[in-house]
Structure 1
């Protein structure tokens, strides 16, 4: 069996590769063009955790974990010829597609960034789907990490998959309306529609894993002293998730900046539980791939932004970072009290039980970031968009050891 994993240099992709390789003797072919490193550098930031070269990472996987079934191919998935050759040579039984420009704020910077995001994300997915068809690989299980952001913030419970429409005695399940709120999130809405079409036309088995806000720095495979096994950690306004940005602010002695009331609930999942689900789907082909288009809401619990902020402040105090939550005018057009309800029973059945809760994930984050305070402090101007940065008075910051 052969597993092809795209976006293998990324925050989720790298630890997922290690998990799959550790649980299987399959060949794991990793693919990336190192785009994430370039995008973060472009906006003037960096990963708090140093990211080693792919050669160093693979070397550490062999020496520290005994993994000899990982190999790497560098290339751009938007180039159809590259994708066709990749599929023809390696003949994957499973494709885990985790490659994308993943930042909503980055996609909103200007028209060029919006166009780039949509071209990059959509072209890569289309090339893979058509590549499976044109290379006679339609039995391959195609697994993609999309996003819970495709749902937007509706005022009703979100199903795990489609919505049921009724007309008298007739009823049918239709795709959930694409209510995405950014140019990035719309790429995943379009991806979902394209995957559904590929399943219908080509009969490709599809798992659409709608990933929520992921938090944490460690998985079972990365935990330990070998720094070459670590995954990246972004904390800036564009690529840092809200929980990661809040924790980095605390380490830098910066106020934990909540936009508006912050009472809106968002879906969260730990890195460990996100990796576990993807690995189980990838390895399920040893039994039988899904014969359908299946949607998984990859979320373990909705948490309000202000609750996340307060938890981070409380855990920060355990590490002698004494900061406070401060509320600022929200630069985004959103309901600051929205109470998201999202069905996740299919995903929870997949992973069994949640293995890391938010507070534990936050402790992992502080354990990690305490080693990289200088990196974070030297990039603290990347925490906020400029419209809010100028409103933080110098005295709002506190000294940290």
Structure 2
């Protein structure tokens, strides 16, 4: 088996690459344009956990190979598919930040062009290369659902009009320019599955927390950990704030619940899906809600403060006026039976994941404190 893993230099991509390399007998071809490193630098921040150069990283396993390439370039994609003929494309590459995409029109346009082009080039590239039997897996986001006032199904929905009912794709209700790119991708994957008879899996990823998997515990194999306003997920950012002695910044009441999943469960499910293959009929899209449970933001902050105390850190939870237009009482009910079956049950709880984060970050306190002004939005370095 040959796996083409895109976004392999990223927070989720790197531990996924390591686990694939350890569990597969064949090659894992890793592709990345190293954009995440550049974007984080643009916003004046760094990874709290220092990471090695790509050349050093991808030399860690004999069956890992690294290609620096831009998937928005059709010729790059065509060359990759022609040379490697992957059995599975695991597509994790994207500009993943809603706040970054929302800085201005230039970055919104860049995010949409980049993300949609990458996925569309891969889908058409597989068909044009005659690789219609390749399993195409993309991590989109639970953010495509928005915040509806009813339980979110794992995939489509039933719509009724004028007495007639049908099963239809869930409407795109993403609340950011970034989330809309993943809604576009979901629509394009559905078209590609139907038109090209491709086997497609859409893994809708929740907010990922954590710093470690068993593969990243060795020195030099750590994954990146972003904590700034633009690229740090809420769990990771709150933990970094506590380590730096900065108040944990809860917007508004913080009673709204957000879907979450650990880094360990995220990686394990992607590897299992790669090994198992497409579960549905040929030419269809399988949808997985990659979430273990929704958590209220204020509950999250208080849990982090409690765990911080075990590390002799006195973390203060402070509420600030919410700059976002959102329902602060939204409960986020979301079906995840298909995902839980895929991953084999939850492997890491929120509390254990937070312990892992503190275990990693306390050794890099100075690095975080030097960039604590990046916890909140500010002027970009390149402007």
| TM-score band, normalised by shorter chain | over 0.9
Of 260, 270, 276, which residue of structure 2 is paired with 1:284? 276
1:38 alignment counterpart: 38
Of 111, 121, 139, which residue of structure 2 is paired with 1:117? 111
CA distance in 2 between counterparts of 1:58 and 1:199 reads 32
CA distance in 2 between counterparts of 1:140 and 1:112 reads 35
2:54 alignment counterpart: 54
8 Å Cα contact 2:279-2:286 kept in structure 1 = no
Residue 86 and residue 46 in structure 1: after superposition, are their counterparts in 2 closer, same or farther (change >3 A)? same
- For residues 355-396 of structure 1, the C-alpha deviation after alignment (integer angstroms, 9 at most, x for no partner) is 100000000000000110011000000001249xxxxxxxxx
Which moves more between the two structures, 131-140 or 378-387? 378-387
8 Å Cα contact 2:280-2:286 kept in structure 1 = no
Of 92, 103, 111, which residue of structure 2 is paired with 1:98? 92
2:225 alignment counterpart: 233
CA distance in 1 between counterparts of 2:135 and 2:193 reads 10
2:134 alignment counterpart: 140
Is 1:221 the equivalent of 2:208? no
CA distance in 1 between counterparts of 2:271 and 2:315 reads 37
1:350 alignment counterpart: 342
CA distance in 1 between counterparts of 2:281 and 2:337 reads 17
Residue 290 and residue 21 in structure 1: after superposition, are their counterparts in 2 closer, same or farther (change >3 A)? farther
8 Å Cα contact 1:255-1:325 kept in structure 2 = yes
CA distance in 1 between counterparts of 2:97 and 2:162 reads 42
Helix, strand or coil for the counterpart of 1:229? coil
Which moves more between the two structures, 159-168 or 33-42? 159-168
CA distance in 2 between counterparts of 1:127 and 1:363 reads 40
8 Å Cα contact 2:258-2:332 kept in structure 1 = yes
Is 1:127 the equivalent of 2:121? yes
- For residues 45-85 of structure 1, the C-alpha deviation after alignment (integer angstroms, 9 at most, x for no partner) is 010011111221123x33xxxxx211111100000001001
2:15 alignment counterpart: 15
8 Å Cα contact 2:238-2:301 kept in structure 1 = yes
Helix, strand or coil for the counterpart of 1:214? strand
- For residues 273-297 of structure 1, the C-alpha deviation after alignment (integer angstroms, 9 at most, x for no partner) is 0001100111113x97862211000
Give 1:24 shift.
Answer: 1.1
Of 308, 313, 320, which residue of structure 1 is paired with 2:300? 308
Aligned length: 378
Of 160, 165, 172, which residue of structure 2 is paired with 1:178? 172
CA distance in 2 between counterparts of 1:259 and 1:210 reads 25
CA distance in 1 between counterparts of 2:53 and 2:332 reads 39
Give 1:166 shift.
Answer: 3.4
- Structure 2: runs of 5+ lacking an equivalent: none
8 Å Cα contact 1:141-1:289 kept in structure 2 = no
1:337 alignment counterpart: 329
1:394 alignment counterpart: none
CA distance in 1 between counterparts of 2:167 and 2:27 reads 37
CA distance in 1 between counterparts of 2:361 and 2:281 reads 40
- For residues 142-169 of structure 1, the C-alpha deviation after alignment (integer angstroms, 9 at most, x for no partner) is 0000000000000000000000123577
- Structure 1: runs of 5+ lacking an equivalent: 63-67, 388-401
Q: Which runs of 4+ in 1 moved over 6 A?
A: none
CA distance in 2 between counterparts of 1:26 and 1:303 reads 39
Helix, strand or coil for the counterpart of 2:66? strand
TM-score of the pair, normalised by structure 1? 0.92
- For residues 256-284 of structure 1, the C-alpha deviation after alignment (integer angstroms, 9 at most, x for no partner) is 01000000000000000000110011111
1:28 alignment counterpart: 28
2:6 alignment counterpart: 6
Residue 97 and residue 290 in structure 1: after superposition, are their counterparts in 2 closer, same or farther (change >3 A)? farther
8 Å Cα contact 1:20-1:283 kept in structure 2 = no
2:235 alignment counterpart: 243
1:299 alignment counterpart: 291
8 Å Cα contact 2:294-2:332 kept in structure 1 = yes
Which moves more between the two structures, 142-151 or 161-170? 161-170
Residue 290 and residue 276 in structure 1: after superposition, are their counterparts in 2 closer, same or farther (change >3 A)? farther
Is 1:192 the equivalent of 2:182? no
Give 1:183 shift.
Answer: 0.2
Give the aligned CA root-mean-square deviation in angstroms. 1.4
1:375 alignment counterpart: 367
8 Å Cα contact 2:32-2:70 kept in structure 1 = yes
TM-score of the pair, normalised by structure 2? 0.96
